[in-house]
Each structure stands twice: as structure tokens, then as C-alpha cells.
Amino acid sequence: MSAAAQTTHAPGAGPGADDDHHPVPEPGPTRDPRTLAAAGDLLRALAAPVRIAIVLQLLEHSRCVHDLVDALGVTQPLISQHLRVLKAAGVVEGERKGREVLYSLVDDHLAHIVVDAVAHVEEDT
């Protein structure tokens, strides 16, 4: 064992305590590993800039593919590919209206993740 590993710490000054010697908060409740894996999959599905832009567009109202192409300035195949990822992750759903499919968010929880992430980045710029 190294000398650093043998060092004892005063109460409240253990690993993770800050310079002001505030106590380290207790860890939160543990989660089922399957829940954490599913949350990781969901965050990966949201992790592409085009998919973030799609979620922001759908936050306003449902849109079809050509509306998203026009709004985002990317190709139809690229929008369709990203919508497939979002749909597989349970972020968006599609409803056929004649020849078009209107895409919408499954719920607002996911939109809040994206909006908060964008707002956080904008605060730092």
C-alpha cells in the first residue's frame, strides 16, 4: 500500500471533501443497473447535434420530415435516419396523415433534458 493510501483523514475531510472542509453528502439511492443502462441509451440517442435540433423543433409542435428538412437545412435522408434513432429510443413517435408522417415528442421530459443542456452551454458562451 502506498503512503498516500495509508493517510488518514479528519472527519469530513476525506476524499471528495472540498477545501472548506464541508462534509461530503451521502450518496443518493442506488438504481437498478438496467435502469441506468436504459438511461445511458436514451442519452446516447440524444447525443447528436441534428437530433438535438429535431427535439427542439418538435417541442413547438408536430412536424413532418419535409418541415424538418426546411427548418434545419439538412437532407431528407439524414433527417429520416435521425428520426429512426429517436423513434427507436422512444423519444419521438410518428402518426401517419395521408402520405405524410407527423412526428412528435413522446413526452416533455426528454425535451427538458435537451433544453436544459442547450441553455447550460449558452450560459457559458
Mean residue pLDDT of the chain comes to 85
CB proximity list for 14: less than 8 A, separation 6 or greater: 24
CB-CB contact of 19 with 12 (8 Å): no
Q: pTM of the predicted model, to two decimals?
A: 0.74
pLDDT tens-place string over residues 29-62: 888 999 999 999 999 999 999 999 999 999 989 9
Can you give the three-state secondary structure of 93-111, one letter per residue?
A: EEEEECCEEEEEECCHHHH
Cell of 52: 438535438
pLDDT value, residue 26: 84
